[in-house]
A and B are shown apart, each in its own frame.
Chain A
Amino acid sequence: GAGVSQSPSNKVTEKGKDVELRCDPISGHTALYWYRQSLGQGLEFLIYFQGNSAPDKSGLPSDRFSAERTGGSVSTLTIQRTQQEDSAVYLCASSFDPSVSYNEQFFGPGTRLTVL
């Protein structure tokens, strides 16, 4: 299995609860990205990790959102005190070193988050 994997596939939670979404990138990919896809919308960039560099967090919508990447591999996106507007599909992607002129991002199947 060489693709990007994400877990859980679906998550239903109650408003105010915290959730953790996991992403396993393709082995050897140094770059990892999180996107949010709300109903009827395109993909919204959230955060980007590259190697040991400081992540680009410019897309995180609020301080309730955070992400970490341990050992340059697995990443966890955490949403604290979830709100109904957080309901969306959260997609993870990985790629080789994006400092190369072209890098294809490979996407996982996403986690559908529903906040009741």
Chain B
Amino acid sequence: AQTVTQSQPEMSVQEAETVTLSCTYDTSESDYYLFWYKQPPSRQMILVIRQEAYKQQNATENRFSVNFQKAAKSFSLKISDSQLGDAAMYFCAYCAGTYKYIFGTGTRLKVLA
């Protein structure tokens, strides 16, 4: 069965510093998508970044980048120059096929001023 594991329930980072959130997954599929979603206190899930498994190049969106290790089934999110507005729950998600997303249990990120 496909599973997504986030082993860090909570992380803290000093403002302007860099933090890495971990995610591992299990699948027998060769083609799939991976996502990082941000959920601030407003509860609105916001897509931060996505990675297509067949692309070897790591995705980057401004201060957000991923380290995608397909063989290791690892998909970590790096946030550079952390800002107070980055404080939120971060969910890693996997999707193979058409529509079913499988989410991890989330990592709460605290940003310290």
Instruction: Determine whether B75 belongs to the interface, using a CB cutoff of 8 Å to chain A.
Output: no
In the complex, how many angstroms separate the beta carbon of B29 from the nearest chain A beta carbon?
Answer: 13
Which of under 10, 10 to 19, 20 to 34, or 35 or more describes the interface residues of B?
20 to 34
Once A42-B4, A42-B91, A42-B106 are accepted as A-B contacts, the answer to whether A102 and B100 lie under 8 Å apart by CB is no
In the complex, how many angstroms separate the beta carbon of A93 from the nearest chain B beta carbon?
Answer: 8
Q: Give Cα A45–Cα B4 distance, bound, in whole angstroms.
A: 14
Taken residue by residue from 36 to 47, chain A's Cβ proximity to chain B (1 for < 8 Å, 0 otherwise) reads as 000011111100
Contacts of B30 in A (CB 8 A): none
- Which of A13-21, A71-79, A105-113 lines the interface with chain B? A105-113
Instruction: Determine whether A91 belongs to the interface, using a CB cutoff of 8 Å to chain B.
Output: yes
Which of under 10, 10 to 19, 20 to 34, or 35 or more describes the interface residues of A?
20 to 34
Contacts of B45 in A (CB 8 A): 43, 91, 93, 107
Once A40-B105, A109-B42, A109-B44 are accepted as A-B contacts, the answer to whether A45 and B100 lie under 8 Å apart by CB is yes
Contacts of B37 in A (CB 8 A): 107
Q: Give me the interface of B with A, judged by CB distance under 8 Å.
A: 4, 6, 9, 33, 37, 42-47, 50, 52, 91, 93, 98-106
